[in-house]
Every structure is written in structure tokens, then in C-alpha cells.
Structure 1
Amino acid sequence: MKKIILLSICGCLLSSCSLDLQPENGLTYSNSFNNEKELDATTTSIQYFINTVVGDNYVLATAGMKADEVLNASQLREWNPRTVISSEYSWKNLYNIIFESNLLLDNIDKPKDLTPDRRDFHVGQAEFALGLSYFLLAQRYGEAIITENSSEIKPYPLSSKTEVLNAAVDHAKKALDLLPTWDKLKDLNGVAITNRQTASKGTAAALLAQIYAWKGSVTELYRLQGNAQEDYRNAVKYATELIDGKAGSYQLCASPEELCKYLSNEKSPNPEAIFSLLFDKTRSEYVVSPNEVAQNFVSWPVREDHTLADLPSNTTYQLYKSTVDQLFPDAADRRPKAFFYEWGTPHEVDGQDYAVMYKFRKAIMDPDQYSPSGKSYRTVDADYVYWRLADIYLLRAECYQKLGDAAHAITDLNVIRSRAGAQPYPSVYDTEGLKKAIFLEREREFIGENDARYADIIRNGYVKEELQGKFKLLTNQNIQGGALFLPLPKDAWQDKDGHVINNRLRQKPYWQSYN
């Protein structure tokens, strides 16, 4: 049975729109939640939205991507205000997650057969989803709406950056308290859950580490009320729970090559993966991987419809070999050989030598009678490993450095360098200090893999140094006015016909004149 959800929160919470989904055990949300099977349908919807929404971050990902060529996005990379405003972005789907999660929490005590541990499981999934959604809203939009429940229909005002992040913290802490480690997760039939998308104690701890690292940084950047140093200490605390195995057992892959093999094989759980968006190929014949970044980097030879000559004209993101040489100056570092195809062999097109991304080594090719190869590229065949253990080590190093604890920061940094075979910090290549060394290590480790670089740049204050175009001209007033966040989406205050449905919202000052 299809599940028809009449949402009260399409942007401003005053319009309604229908979502036609097919999760397991569907029901109309107006029905009562008589048993766990019916409740589980809502948990399934939460998982569906997380899977399809979290990786949808093209505007900020493209603005911050480490890439030399980006097809059809030069004005976006230049942060042209009118291009940004006219880009396809919306926060509606993040509020779909929030609605579904609130719906579950509002009805959690209706099922008559729910045991305490199963109640904790479902509430934990909803609390993690709420924490994640508010965190992503804070990262992408700054200010956002905090809803009260799934039924209160009214024009909500924007909440401040701090309020949204505090809401994220509150929900993530509840998830951490309720959920078991990933190896103890079970579904309603008692079968072990082996994927890393279902929330566990580890995903909640990772979320808290990310929230606090971001909160401390924006507190400093925007001079918000709060204690940035305390936020960094909290980020270290939750990162340490993960690294020490107190929130679940996670291990770094033995080498960059082993990491790439795991990234390219979604059937074999990556021991380093803490939170992954599953690529469910059974959903439809047209489904694509949740990892939009990897999908846009994949080219020849993984794409069977490509030749070397197609690199510059048919691949969304491309890197030059000279750029990668500069990023990886240490000849002992094993990552270039693992991350790029036939590293050391020229791949020249029209006089330009390209570094061909090879982190993800499988693609799904569909039959296409109109293609010269008889095939067309649909997607990279991979899950989206959103947070992995290397991320947590380097995030903790970053926070240690901001706390003035250089010794511990260097130790964490060198754990990742050691795995890569690179020289430990400080080396002859580290000429810009510890803070920049950690930033560059994150850039090396996650290149072509995720959308984190824009957030890394904001957290570390490297906007004018690492971004392009109008970013370099932003004044402090522009930044305080919201220039580093997405503008409020139109569907936050307008319905599909352009009628104002929430007059309590105002566009951010920086973007207002371009609206």
C-alpha cells in the first residue's frame, strides 16, 4: 500500500504537498499506530528521506569543491548572487525528515505491542534524524525554523544559528542515550541490521562531534553568544568516544588502496564507515547513488561510454595533475597512487594533463542504442560513506589545535599520515603551520569523496584563501549578512503559486537586494 503523507511543513508549515512513497508496511498517517509494524512504516520513511536528502547539496558542494574544471557551473563557483538564488535548492526535504520524525514521536506510545527496547530503537532513529536535519539546516542556511510537533500548523519565525544548533545537540544527545552500538541493532523481526545508515550510538556520537566543531567555529566567526572553547572540548569528547571504541567498534582501513576497495564495494561493510547512505539498487531501474560528489567525478575508464578524450567535455568535476602534485608534495604518500588512475602516467587532452579520479571503481551502465558505445552512464555503484573514522581523527585534531593543544592535534594528524605512508608532522612540506596542515590533510583524505570541503573552509576561516570569485571580495558586513549561507528558499514563505504563506520570514540582508 502506498503511503500518502499530507505534510504541514512544506517550507513555511502553512502549505501542504503530497509525497508518494513506497516504504514497507505503508499506512496513511491519519490512521492510528496500532502496532510496531505500523510504527515501523514511519521509521522506514525517515530512513528513505535521510537516504535521498542528506547528499543533496550541489550548490555548496560545487562552490567549495577541490576541482579545476566544473561543467556548467562557473558562475556558481564565482558565487554570483543571482546565479545562487536561481539555483535549484530547497529545504523542504529536510523538513520532510523533521515531519516524519515528529510524527513518530507524537505517536510512539500508541502501539500496544512495543517493548521498551523497541521503543528506544524507534525513538532513537527519530531523534538522530532530527539532530541531523537541524545540523544540516544550520550548516547550509544558518537560521532555520524549529517546529514544535507534527500537527502544529502556524507561521513559524526563524530561529537563530545558536538555537538551531542547540536543537540539533539536544536531539543527538537523546539518540546517543537511547541507541545501542551498531553491532547490536536489530529490526522488528529480531534480525541484525548490518548497514551503517540506521542510526546507532556511533552515528549519534559522530553527529555530536560534527555539531560542536561547527558550533564553536560559527560562534567565533559570527561573534555569537556562547563559549567556542567549550564547544571544541565537547567535539573532542564525542570524537574520543568513537576513536576509543566506546560508541562502537570502528577501524581505519590498513591502506589507501584498501579504503578504495571498500568504497567501491557496498556489499562489504567498510570497517571505517560510521554513517553511510545506502545505495539501494532495488528501488527502481533509474535509481542513482546518494553520493553525488563521487558520481560527478567518475569518468574514463570507469565509465565505459567514455574515452580519454571525453574527460574535459563529459565529466562534471575534473582535476589537473599539477593540482594534485601540489596537494600531495610528499612522494612517499600512497594516496595519489590509490586515488587516481595510473598515477604517474600522463593523461593528456588538448595539452592538459588530467588526474583521473579512481577512488570509486564501479559504475552502472545502462543499455543505450543511441550511444556509440551502446551504453550510457547512470551512476557510480557505491554507497555514500558520509562520515568515516579518518574524518573523526582529523576533526578532533582540528579542535585540539583550536584549543591550543598542539601535541594531541599532531598525534591525531599523524595517525592519518602514517596510514598513508606520508612523512609525519612537522615535515619539510608543512610551511603554513599546524592549522593549515590539518585542513590540507582533510583535503587530501576526502578529495573526490564527499561534500565536506565547503564546511571545512568555513570552520577554519579560509574563505578568501580557498574559494573563488565574489567570495574573495566579501566584507565582514556581507558575511554577517548571510553571504556564506544559502539564501532562504522561496518555498519557505511562498506556495507553488507564489502566494505569501509565512509573513514572519525575511530574506537574509546580503541576499535581499538580489531577490
Structure 2
Amino acid sequence: MKKIIKQTWILGLVAFVLTSILPSCKKQINMAPENATYDEVFWVDGRNVNKALTGAYSMLRDAFRVDRSYFIFGDLAANNFQPGSDYWNYMDMLQARNFNFNYVPYLEGSLKNWSRFYAIVNQCHLIIENAPNIPDSKYTGGAAQKKRLLGEAKFLRAYVYFYMQRVWGDVILTKETVKDPTNVAPLPRSPESETMNYCLADLQSASALLDNDANKTHANKVSALALLAQVYAWKKDYVNSEKYCDSVINNSPVSLEDLADYRNIWEGNSKESILELSMKFDAVSNEATSGFFNAFLNNDYITNRNFPASGWALSQTSLGIFGLLGTNIPPDARRDMVIEPAGNGLYMLSKYTGVDYYDPNNKNTYVVSNNLVLIRLADTYLLRAEARVKNGNQTGALQDLNVITARAGSTEVKGLISLNAIADERLREFIGEGSNQFDFIRMEQLPRYFPIYTPERIAKKGYFWPLDMRTLLKQDELLTQNEWWNNN
């Protein structure tokens, strides 16, 4: 029994992943896979493969929602917001307390433990290992559906590993399901280069398997190409990053929203969106919740909302980037569409305002019905601008940057541009979308924004989150802590 428990950080579930498909998918899978006999029953047709894949998307959605960790890792760690007093246990992770990610009382399970993401990885392993063995005739869409499901699973596996790498640093790279959970050897963390190359291989395969016919809550070919551009940029291979940005911008079915329709991006299925997670409300299969996007909103949107105590107002850092601290406020029509005064000199983000009091019998019951956009075309334009600066193409970089500033209704950028200007534009464009901290790490911008990121802290990668060694080390004796957090 000890050995079964030992690797729960990898499995994230008991025996096989399908037992833990989250609530929104339980109605689709009623059998409990407990042994190899179950595998023979489950992996028999495309319908069940699709159920397993739907479960993987659901698991990703729920993993991001836990304690709003998606916004913590990508936005609070970048000091984009100032949580109110109700969030007392969030305070140490902010700039005012030197981004002490090690002290997060009652949040250790969501911020310092990666087990829920390994559950998704293992779910993808299962699909990738079993789907090819099912005859094409057992898929309602034949070989084409089989290719699509396999491509989506490979994309998701790469997406999750890439996400984990950017949050915690070096992961433990598993490449297959655990065949014997009673005999699992301890595993060390894998070098970043190995993980990134594994992601690239999965994404190359996914891009070959996928087309662009699915809706935007499922991975498509363009999703794989856009993520390839991101992974190459993380590896500092800006030549390949620019190449894949070109493919997305020049040869895909997505396009930028006009400024008048800018807010459509977060309502879901916009023409700019490349990949998003379904979090919309409907009476049949509701994926919306009240406890995720609501942190950004005051009582103009949510009745009896105690803002700012119970919410996240924009930080002084963000107000400065948007030019809202001085008297001469620069033009930015985009800003005026997604940032609103919240009283007492505070401002709030209004990208996610789909508040729905859907129950006529309970006036206090609501959800915030917006999709979570993971990748969109504006990101690819600014990533190509970054790559072009690195590749010595100032003219092209300026053109890409001004595509975004022109849409925003802000001042045209002229002359030579630096990564600083692109990083600032990324903050203005993607605030509240869970990505700015990863941009700052990749672009080496953290010391410019926050002097607490000293050369020593950067060298020891003190921008990654620590692991909960008290819990995880007992399960893997080869696991090591991120260097900065050994003594901080």
C-alpha cells in the first residue's frame, strides 16, 4: 500500500485516471476503472475516447479554478492586482512583501502542489496509448475523428507540461502511464531542455493530426502552431518562434477583433480567440461558477459585493502602466473598455462581466458566464514583435507592435523599439488573462519592474514557485526544492 500512495503526485488519482474525471464529466462516465479488465471494456470505441478527452479539458478547467490559481500564477505574481483584506493569506505573495511565494497559508495545496496537473498529463497518456489501438471503424467519424482526438490529447499534454514548467520550474517528466502502481520508483526532476523538447515533439505531431474545424474550446491546428511559437520563444529560439508566428498570422482562420467588438473576446468564441476553456452558463451542462471571475468585480455587477475587501482592485503598478496615476492620461480606448473606476480612487478590471442571476427563486444566486481565453491572436502579434527585435528586424517588430496599439486607439510607436516597450504593451493588452508573469520571466523584465528581483534571485530562479516538500518529498525521495526557496 505504501508504494501505491508513494506516487500520487504523478497519478493524481487511484490506479487509473478515469476514476477521477471531474463532476462535469461524471455523468458521461459511470464505470469505475479499477483494473486491466476495465481497460478492455472502456477503450473500445471513439465515443469513450471522446469522453476521456472531455474529462481532460474539464480537469484543466478545474485545476485553474482552484483558489483562482490561474490568476495568481499569471497576474498576482506580476503584481497586477491588489487583493482586498478578505484575502489576508495572499498578501505575502505580492510586491509589498517581496513576492514571498513560500508563505501562502491554506493555499499550499493549490500553489505549491502540482498533483492536479499530473492527473491531466496521465489522462492524456491514457488516450495517446489506447486510442490508436481502436479500429477506425469504431469511431463515428472514422480515421479523421481518431486523428483529431489523438492530436488534441498530444496538444493538451504539451500545454500542461509547458504550463507547469513556467510555474514551478523543472518538472518530473513522465512519458507514459504507470503500468504497475504498486512498484513505482522515485523519479528526479527533468532538465527544462528535455521537457521543452518533449513539448515540441507533441506539438509538431498535434499540428500534423489536427485541422481547424473544431470550435475554439478544443485544440486545433492553429492552437498547436501558436503554442509552438510560445515554446520556442521560451527556449530563446526566436528564429523558429517567428516562423510559427508567421504561420498563425498569415495562414489561419483567426483575425483581430475590431475595437468596437473588443469585449467579445471574453464572451467566448470571438474571431480573435485561438483556444479557450468553456465556462459559460447554460441550464443543461453549466460550466460557469460564481467563485472565479467575480474577484475582479464590485457591486455595480454583483449585488451586495463588498469591494475592495472581497475583490481584487488594480495595483499601483498597473495604474502606472495604463497612465492612470497622473493628470495627463494618455489615449487608450482599449483601457477605457476593460478598466472601470471602482470608487475611492480604485479601478477594477471589467473583462469578465457576464454576471447571470439565473435562478428566479433565489435572487442571490449567480454565476459569471465568460469563457477563459488561453491563447489569442494579439498574443501572437506581440510575440512576433518580440522575436523580430531579437532577430534584428526592427521594422517588422514596429509594424507588429503598432497593429496592437492601433487597435487599442493609443499613440503610435515610432523609432527603435525595445523589449521594454513590448512588455509594457503586453501588460496593457493581457492584464487579467493569467500570462503576464510568464511574459516577464521569458523577456527578462522582472528586475525592471521589481528591484527585489536581484541578480542572485534571478540566477537561483526565485521567480518560480516553491514546492510543498512537506507533502511531496514523502512521496518522492528524489524530489528537490527550487534553489531560491531552500533558504528563503
Aligned pair 1:270/2:270, yes or no? yes
Q: Structure 2 counterpart of 1:488, which letter?
A: L
How far apart in 2 are the matches of 1:46 and 1:491? Answer: 28
Distance 1:117 1:111 in 2: 13
412 and 8 in structure 1: CA distance in 2 versus 1, 3 angstrom threshold: farther
Taking a change above 3 Å as real, the CA distance of residues 15 and 129 of structure 1, as seen in their structure-2 partners, is closer
1:83 matched to 2:62: no
CA distance in 2, matches of 1:107, 1:43: 12
Shift of 1:51: 2.4
User: How much has 1:68 moved relative to structure 2?
Assistant: 4.6
Look up the match of 2:409: 421
CA deviations on 1:208-234 (whole Å, 9 max, x unpaired) are 111111221xxxxxxxxxxxxxx1111
More deviation in 475-484 or 34-43? 475-484
Partner of 1:228: none
Taking structure 1 as reference, are residues 290 and 489 closer, same or farther at Cα in structure 2, changes over 3 Å only? farther
Q: What amino acid is the match of 1:24?
A: Q
Question: For residues 501 and 348 of structure 1, do their structure 2 counterparts lie closer, same or farther at Cα, with a shift above 3 Å needed?
Answer: closer
- Find the counterpart in structure 2 of residue 252 from structure 1: 256
Corresponding residue number in structure 2 for 1:107: 130
Q: Tell me which amino acid in the other structure corresponds to 1:461.
A: E
What is the CA distance between 1:83 and its match in structure 2? 0.9
Matching of residues 469-508 of structure 1 within 5 Å:
472-490=451-469, 493-494=472-473, 500-508=474-482
CA distance in 1, matches of 2:393, 2:366: 46
Residue 359 (structure 1) shift: 2.6
Task: Name the SS for the 2:197 alignment partner.
Answer: helix
Residue 411 of structure 1: CA displacement?
Answer: 0.4
Deviation of 1:474 after TM superposition, in Å, equals 4.3
Residue aligning to 1:43: 53
The question of whether the paired residues in 2 share the 8 Å contact of 1:417 and 1:423 is answered with yes
Q: Do 1:52 and 1:290's aligned partners in 2 also have CA atoms closer than 8 Å?
A: no
Letter of the structure 1 residue corresponding to residue 297 of structure 2? V
Q: 2:44 aligns with which of 34, 53, 75?
A: 34
- Structure 1 position 144, deviation (Å): 0.6
Q: Are the aligned partners of 1:12 and 1:501 in contact in 2 as well (CA < 8 Å)? A: no
The answer to whether the Cα contact below 8 Å between 2:81 and 2:312 also exists between their aligned partners in 1 is no
Q: Secondary structure at the match of 2:149?
A: helix
Equivalent position of 1:57 in the other structure: 70
- Residue correspondence of structure 1 range 130-209 to structure 2 within 5 A: 130-152=157-179, 153-181=184-212, 184-185=213-214, 194=215, 196-209=216-229
Distance 1:57 1:362, change over 3 A: closer
Tell me, yes or no, if the aligned pair for 1:304 and 1:375 is still in contact at 8 Å: no
Tell me which residue corresponds to 1:314. 310
Q: Does 1:386 align with 2:386?
A: no
2:383 corresponds to: 395
Bigger shift: residues 479-488 or 414-423: 479-488
Gaps of 5+ in 1: 1-5, 186-193, 217-230, 495-499
Q: 1:512–1:319: structure 2 CA closer, same or farther, 3 Å change rule?
A: closer
Q: 1:48 to 1:157 in 2, by over 3 A?
A: same
Instruction: Give the Cα separation in 1 of the matches to 2:487 and 2:421.
Output: 38
- TM-fit CA distance, 1:243: 0.6
Letter matched to residue 35 of structure 1: D
Secondary structure of the equivalent of 1:387? strand
Determine the structure 1 residue equivalent to 2:333: 334
Partner amino acid, structure 2, of 1:34: V
Kept after mapping to 1: 8 A contact 2:155/2:203: yes
Match of 1:301 in 2: 300
Contact 2:402 2:413 in 1 (8 A): yes
Q: Kindly state the Cα deviation for residue 434 of structure 1 after the two structures are TM-superposed.
A: 2.6
Give the alignment partner of residue 452 of structure 1, picking from 435, 442, 448: 435
SS of 1:325 mapped into structure 2: coil
Between 96-105 and 472-481, report the one with greater CA deviation.
472-481
Would you say the 8 A contact 2:161–2:195 is kept in 1? yes
1:36 is aligned with what amino acid?
A: G
Q: 1:338 to 1:501 in 2, by over 3 A?
A: closer
1:11 maps to: 9
- 1:364 maps to amino acid: D
Q: For residue 274 of structure 1, give the secondary structure of its aligned residue in structure 2.
A: strand
Whichever residue aligns with residue 115 of structure 2, its letter is K
Inter-partner Cα distance in structure 1 for 2:281 and 2:463: 35
User: 1:226-245 counterparts in 2 under 5 A?
Assistant: 231-244=237-250
Partner in structure 2 of residue 441 of structure 1: 425
Displacement of 1:377 in angstroms is 7.1
- Supply the distance in 1 between the matched residues of 2:453 and 2:154 (Cα, whole angstroms): 37
Moved over 6 A (4+): 283-286, 327-330, 366-369
Q: How far does residue 130 in structure 1 lie from its aligned partner after superposition? A: 0.9
In structure 1, the partner of 2:147 is 120
Between the aligned partners of 1:211 and 1:243, the Cα distance in structure 2 is: 17
- Percent identity of the aligned residues? 22
The alignment covers a number of residue pairs equal to 449
Q: Displacement of 1:15 after TM fit?
A: 8.2
Deviations 1:138-172 (A, max 9, x none): 11111011113112433221101111111111111
Q: Taking structure 2 as the reference length, what is the TM-score of the superposition?
A: 0.82
Amino acid at match of 1:334: A
- How far did 1:291 drift? 9.6
* Paired AA for residue 49 in structure 1: M
Shift of 1:252: 0.7
Q: CA RMSD in A?
A: 3.2
Are the equivalent residues in 2 in contact too, given 1:330–1:422 (CA < 8 A)? no
Unaligned ranges ≥5, structure 2: none
- What amino acid sits opposite 2:254 in the alignment? Y
Q: Which amino acid aligns with 2:313?
A: Y
State the 1:361 CA deviation: 2.7
Q: Which letter maps to 1:439?
A: A
Q: Is the 8 A contact 1:302 1:363 kept in 2?
A: yes
Tell me, yes or no, if the aligned pair for 2:11 and 2:119 is still in contact at 8 Å.
no
Report the secondary structure of 2:39's partner residue.
coil
Structure 1, residues 306-345: CA drift from partner, whole Å, max 9, x if none?
3xxx43323223356964434897644212321233x7xx
Following the alignment from structure 2 to structure 1, what is the Cα–Cα distance between the partners of residues 484 and 399?
A: 41
How far apart, in 1, do the equivalents of 2:289 and 2:62 lie? 9
- The Cα of 1:37 is off from its aligned counterpart by 1.8
Distance in 2 (CA, whole Å) between partners of 1:13 and 1:109 is 22
User: CA 1:501 to 1:66, structure 2 compared with 1: closer, same or farther past 3 Å?
Assistant: closer
